């Protein structure tokens, strides 16, 4: 299968917007229980007349997609595919709270119109005047993976040559409060830079918008090649995960010794990180984590794919990411293994072009 990552656009809690050198500067530190995105000046990327109607997540998504398309030099993708678990929460909260406070009367249309899960993909389509395939996947912890799988299938079946695909989720005050009550996040204040060194109950909330332009034809400026993707829902113990992982690698004619780097989805939550420890077969591979950079959210695999794409393009691991494994040989193949709540497990395989 030919699926090349030609361009990326990423708005995250790190300084990733605008394609600065990959994780070259000091990492952004967040204390507390949430990591909000470091947002760019949107006026440079989006028409001001359109910005006024966009909530934060729409701005993040549209801006990341715009950066991605600009880098690719593609003005009209053959398809736009997005993945989001929570959708446009701010607009949803705004609309629902007004329904209550105004007794279901005098409701303004904008928040309602913008509150659907496909708003970002639709907004990108409207901006580009792109009437082609446009789909949004809302599958909890598999939302981005489903979008990516759809993009890969569109290329494989020759329905498209260029697909814009992205994963987007936001934290709002409402969602953070509700998810905190459900025990997802830590109590008290901690630093994201110590998130993995000091495992505890709960993790830190994160958010982000990462877009990719994937193409069926190779070009000289590609970041990486996407070789495979697999998902596993509610596995019954580590043996099942290892079995799935083995069959995934076998399907790609690989074994663990062929993997130069594993990017794992550890988030500092004792309960869920145990899953990574129990996968003995993975332990032979050098590993780095990424959620200390972006926090935990259902589409965080998109951040991991962005990270993997950048590592494969340069061939090196930034010392900031993992000083202990920075001295190894050129990285040619990366496996991303992430799990969200020990329910949604996914594997993404990428290689250097």
Partner 1 sequence: MVKLMSDLKSQIIAQLNLQDVKPEEIGDDQPLFVDGLGLDSIDALELIVLLQQEYKIKLSNAEDGPKVFKTVRTMAEYIKAHQAQNA
- Which positions touch partner 1 (CB under 8 A)? 48-49, 51-53, 106-110, 113
Instruction: Supply angle C-alpha 31, 294, 316, rounded to 5.
Output: 120
What distance in Å separates the CA atoms of residue 326 and residue 344, rounded to the nearest whole number?
30
Question: Structure tokens of 121?
Answer: 């993909």
Nearer to partner 1, 116 or 314 (CB): 116
Nearer to partner 1, 96 or 353 (CB): 96
Nearer to partner 1, 15 or 113 (CB): 113
What distance in Å separates the CA atoms of residue 133 and residue 325, rounded to the nearest whole number?
42
- Contact partners, residue 93, CB within 8 Å, separation at least 6: 172, 174, 175
Supply the minimum distance, in Å, between the C-beta of residue 10 and partner 1: 25
Nearer to partner 1, 53 or 187 (CB): 53
The position carrying tokens 């130069």 is 260
Count Cα neighbours of 126 within 13 Å in the Cβ-side half-sphere.
Answer: 11
What distance in Å separates the CA atoms of residue 279 and residue 291, rounded to the nearest whole number?
19
CA nearest 196: which of 271, 257, 269, 255? Answer: 269
Nearer to partner 1, 111 or 160 (CB): 111
Supply the minimum distance, in Å, between the C-beta of residue 89 and partner 1: 18
Supply the minimum distance, in Å, between the C-beta of residue 18 and partner 1: 21
Pairing of the two strands 333-340 and 261-264 = parallel
Question: Structure tokens of 264?
Answer: 């794992």
Supply the minimum distance, in Å, between the C-beta of residue 43 and partner 1: 9
How many other C-beta atoms lie within 10 A of the C-beta of residue 152?
A: 22
Nearer to partner 1, 39 or 316 (CB): 39
SS3 194: helix
Nearer to partner 1, 34 or 56 (CB): 56
Nearer to partner 1, 46 or 168 (CB): 46
What distance in Å separates the CA atoms of residue 86 and residue 83, rounded to the nearest whole number?
9
Supply the minimum distance, in Å, between the C-beta of residue 119 and partner 1: 13
- Structure-derived torsion over alpha carbons of residues 62, 133, 212, 174, reported in degrees to the nearest 10: 50
The position carrying tokens 């794992």 is 264
């Amino acid at each position: 299968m030919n699926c090349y990552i030609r361009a990326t656009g990423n708005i995250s809690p790190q300084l990733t917007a605008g394609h600065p050198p990959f994780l070259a500067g000091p990492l952004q530190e967040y204390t507390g229980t949430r990591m909000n995105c470091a947002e760019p000046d949107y006026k440079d990327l989006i028409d001001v007349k359109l910005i006024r109607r966009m909530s934060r997540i729409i701005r993040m998504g549209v801006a990341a997609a715009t950066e991605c398309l600009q880098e690719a030099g593609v003005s009209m993708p053959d398809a736009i595919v997005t993945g989001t678990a929570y959708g446009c929460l701010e607009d949803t909260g705004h609309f629902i709270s007004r329904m209550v406070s105004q007794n279901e009367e005098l409701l303004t249309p904008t928040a309602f119109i913008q509150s659907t899960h496909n708003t970002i993909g639709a907004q990108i389509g409207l901006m580009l005047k792109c009437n082609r395939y446009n789909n949004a996947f809302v599958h909890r912890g598999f939302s981005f993976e489903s979008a990516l799988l759809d993009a890969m299938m569109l290329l494989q079946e020759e329905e498209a040559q260029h697909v814009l695909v992205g994963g987007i989720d936001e934290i709002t005050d409402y969602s953070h409060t509700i998810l905190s009550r459900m025990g997802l996040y830590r109590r008290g204040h901690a630093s994201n830079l110590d998130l993995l060194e000091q495992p505890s109950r709960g993790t830190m909330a994160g958010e982000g918008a990462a877009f990719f332009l994937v193409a069926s034809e190779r070009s000289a400026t590609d970041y990486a090649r996407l070789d495979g993707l697999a998902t596993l829902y509610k596995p019954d113990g580590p043996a099942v995960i290892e079995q799935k992982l083995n069959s995934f690698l076998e399907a790609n004619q690989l074994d663990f010794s062929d993997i130069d780097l594993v990017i794992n989805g550890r988030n500092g939550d004792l309960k869920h990180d145990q899953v990574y420890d129990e996968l003995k077969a993975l332990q032979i591979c050098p590993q780095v984590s990424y959620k200390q950079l972006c926090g935990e959210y259902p589409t965080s695999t998109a951040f991991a794919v962005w990270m993997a794409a950048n590592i494969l393009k340069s061939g090196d691991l930034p010392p900031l990411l993992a000083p202990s494994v920075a001295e190894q040989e050129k990285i040619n193949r990366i496996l991303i293994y992430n799990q969200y709540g020990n329910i949604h497990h996914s594997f993404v395989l990428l290689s250097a072009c």
